[in-house]
Amino acid sequence: MQTDSHLLTKQMFQPALPARPTDAHKGTSGSVAIIGGDQGMLGAVLLAARAALFSGAGRIYAAMLCKTALTIDFLHPEIMMRTPESIAKLPQLNALVIGPGLGQSDVALDLLTFWLKKEQLLVLDADALNLIAKYPHLADLVRARQTDTIVTPHVGEAARLMSLSVAAIQKNRVDAAIGLAQSLRVICVLKGAGTVIAEKNKQYWINSTGNPGLAVGGTGDVLTGIIASLIAQGLSPVDAAKLAVYVHGAAADVLVGQGVGPIGLTASELLIEVRTLLNQLNQLI
């Protein structure tokens, strides 16, 4: 039975993040990497990486599968561009996102397989989820992992992962999110109106923020970057997912309140509002 205790509200996130010490350095706020960006889909990685930057991670790495991708983000040169292969050589990585613009090539399959076998905290989205749905052995690797895994499917991806129809998922989104969390032994963030965050122990939460302006390409990439960033800054994976979903939706609400959307709202416009909201929440004790 759904109750108010399952609803994500502002009061749950005060303060939002651990206080930063006066002698903090970039390592204090953790490291995030994003892998994806096959030909024609580079923007997905950039959006996720920029979201990680604007939501407070100390170091952000972005790795593109596309061989002709630029080696710098000219808009945000703080993001460090790497090859996908070099991410495994990083000395410390608090969270790794795989999936934005990843594609479903053999290279993508090999990369995902490699990381699913590693004891690295993963946030899996987009084509990473489509590959898992396509290849049963990948789902087995996910289930066998001893390190936390977060999956962030939209309803279509969830339907493929569970071999159900979209209508069946939408009929009872809470049960679907819990079922997927239990099936894959993950934290599930089932995106959509009233995003559901579910754990395999059947705990769940429903988001209270957001609007139809979020129904545009790139907003899911932004969400994955925020989740990874909050984990890097010290939140538990489930708390990071809850806060990320809340501020992601709240940022869209602020923008619509300012007349920016819902028609024409873009994923990039969420970033500054997410930063503002996180800082506001951290000042409330």
Q: pLDDT, tens digit, for every residue of 39-49? A: 999 999 999 99
pTM exceeds cut of 0.85: yes
Residue 63's pLDDT is what?
Answer: 99
Buried b (16+ CB within 10 A) or exposed e, 200-235: beeebbbbbbbbebbebebbbbbbbbbbbbbbbbeb
pLDDT in the model for residue 1:
47
**What's the average model confidence in pLDDT over 182-187?**
99
pLDDT grade for 284, boundaries at 50, 70 and 90: low
Residue 35: the pLDDT is 99
* Cβ-based neighbours of 117, under 8 Å, separated by 6 or more: 141
* pLDDT of 3 over the 60 cut: no
pLDDT tens, position by position, 220-264? 999 999 999 999 999 999 999 999 999 999 999 999 999 999 999
Identify the pLDDT of residue 187.
99
- Of 266, 253, 222, 267, nearest in space to 53 by CA: 222
Q: What's the angle, vertex CA 55, arms to CA 24 and CA 107, rounded to 5?
A: 110
Percent of the chain with pLDDT strictly greater than 70: 98
Residue 113, Cβ density class (10 Å: 0-12 exposed, 13-18 middle, ≥19 buried)? middle
Q: What confidence score (pLDDT) does residue 2 get?
A: 54
Mean pLDDT of 108-134: 99
Categorize the per-residue pLDDT at 285 as very low, low, confident or very high, splitting at 50, 70 and 90.
very low
CA 73/CA 88 separation, integer angstroms: 21
Peptide linkage before 15 cis (omega within 30 of 0)? yes
Q: Tell me the average pLDDT across 169-184.
A: 98
Pick the CATH number of 27-282 from 3.90.1170.50, 3.90.79.10, 3.40.1190.20, 2.60.40.10: 3.40.1190.20
For the cut 80, the answer to whether the pLDDT of residue 272 exceeds it is yes
